[in-house]
Structure 1
Amino acid sequence: MARAQETFGKKEREKKRLKKREEKQKRKEARKSNATGGGLENMLVYVDENGHFTDTPPDPAKKVKIDAESIVLGIPKKEEQEPEDPVRNGKVSFFDHSKGFGFIIDSENSEKYFVHVSGLIDEIDENDKVSFELEKGMKGLNAVRVKKT
């Protein structure tokens, strides 16, 4: 039977592996010797009245008493509003006839709304003044029932 040959490369890899193991052991011992105890008190973190983390306990004089009944759980009820006019006015900022879509800028709030050729009543072009209604689409509000004004 042939014996496994000890080549120079194998010896070097073995030396590196042993050296790494020794360095790791030294680092472990150094961490143990430098470790400062202190227990739980050194690990506690407090939150001050502004919401920032601090290592000092909060001042009991600054504590605010909150009545549990005053906390409202859930969504507050909507206040009654007058019904908003569903027809809006705007200006066509972009429209591509070959692709069949464009965008309308609302004259009241300067919001941009997507418009598709299927939502048109009249033929529109860029810079036309239009009236339209809004409808929820897949990616937000879409302009539908678009007419020239």
Structure 2
Amino acid sequence: MAKSRETFNKKEKEKQRQKKKQEKLDKKEARKSGNDKSTDFEDMIAYVDEFGNITSTPPDPAKKKTEVDPDSIQITVPKDSEMSDAPDEKKKGRVTFFNESKGYGFIKDSQSGESIFVHINKCLDEIKEGDVVNYETEKTPKGLSATEVKLAP
């Protein structure tokens, strides 16, 4: 008599395949019949109350609404440390580092103490380390940069 070619391991794997196949068919039938939670359009709607919280109940139209006078609303530019400086206002600082071969350096502002980048193209006078200078600032993608740099009198 010949030995059976089906081993225990092969039988177990075949059972698992059949089980997965049956589960997949059951899920497919459940989706088709609509037994699972079907989402209605009404279930998907969300409302925002007067405090900014998301709720499922619509706002009450009988609730007293407050009238706002549009002329009383003030729209201003936010005060920012870089934006508050007037463009025509000259600042004063000391050159802390300047590389003459590469043409760039840094100025330490005398009031705020922040370090500001300076390039030789933006200098009106020749500068070197330790010089006291007057300058203006401009906003660049990498931060503040000094422009119109002159030696202080």
Identity score, percent: 43
Q: Structure 1 residues 43 and 84 mapped into 2: Cα distance closer, same or farther (>3 Å)?
A: closer
Query: Could you tell me which amino acid in structure 1 is paired with residue 23 of structure 2?
Result: E
Query: Could you tell me which amino acid in structure 2 is paired with residue 122 of structure 1?
Result: E
Q: Structure 1 residues 44 and 63 mapped into 2: Cα distance closer, same or farther (>3 Å)?
A: farther
Query: Could you tell me which amino acid in structure 2 is paired with residue 88 of structure 1?
Result: K
Q: Structure 1 residues 123 and 139 mapped into 2: Cα distance closer, same or farther (>3 Å)?
A: same
CA shift, 1:103, in A, is 2.1
Which residue of structure 2 aligns with residue 25 of structure 1? Answer: 25
Which residue of structure 2 aligns with residue 115 of structure 1? Answer: 118
TM-score after normalising by structure 2: 0.55
Q: Which whole-Å deviations, capped at 9, do the CAs of 1:41-98 have from their partners, x for residues lacking one?
A: 322210011222111222442533446xx279xx879xxxxx7643211233433333
In structure 2, C-alpha distance between the alignment counterparts of 1:106 and 1:90, rounded to whole Å: 4
Which residue of structure 2 aligns with residue 34 of structure 1? Answer: 36
In structure 2, C-alpha distance between the alignment counterparts of 1:136 and 1:99, rounded to whole Å: 22
* Structure 1: gaps spanning 5 or more residues: 1-11, 78-82
Runs ≥4 in structure 1, deviation > 6 angstroms? none
In structure 1, C-alpha distance between the alignment counterparts of 2:59 and 2:107, rounded to whole Å: 55
* Structure 2: gaps spanning 5 or more residues: 1-12, 78-85
Which residue of structure 2 aligns with residue 80 of structure 1? Answer: none
Query: Could you tell me which amino acid in structure 2 is paired with residue 47 of structure 1?
Result: V
In structure 1, C-alpha distance between the alignment counterparts of 2:43 and 2:138, rounded to whole Å: 58
CA shift, 1:35, in A, is 1.7
Q: Structure 1 residues 45 and 100 mapped into 2: Cα distance closer, same or farther (>3 Å)?
A: same
Q: Structure 1 residues 19 and 92 mapped into 2: Cα distance closer, same or farther (>3 Å)?
A: farther
Which residue of structure 1 aligns with residue 83 of structure 2? Answer: none
Moved more, 99-108 or 22-31: 22-31
2:35 partner SS: helix
TM-score after normalising by structure 1: 0.56
CA shift, 1:118, in A, is 2.5
CA contact (8 A) 1:46 1:56 kept: yes
Matched residue count = 125
In structure 2, C-alpha distance between the alignment counterparts of 1:111 and 1:71, rounded to whole Å: 40
Q: Which of residues 128, 132, 144 is equivalent to 1:124?
A: 128
Q: Which of residues 96, 103, 106 is equivalent to 2:106?
A: 103
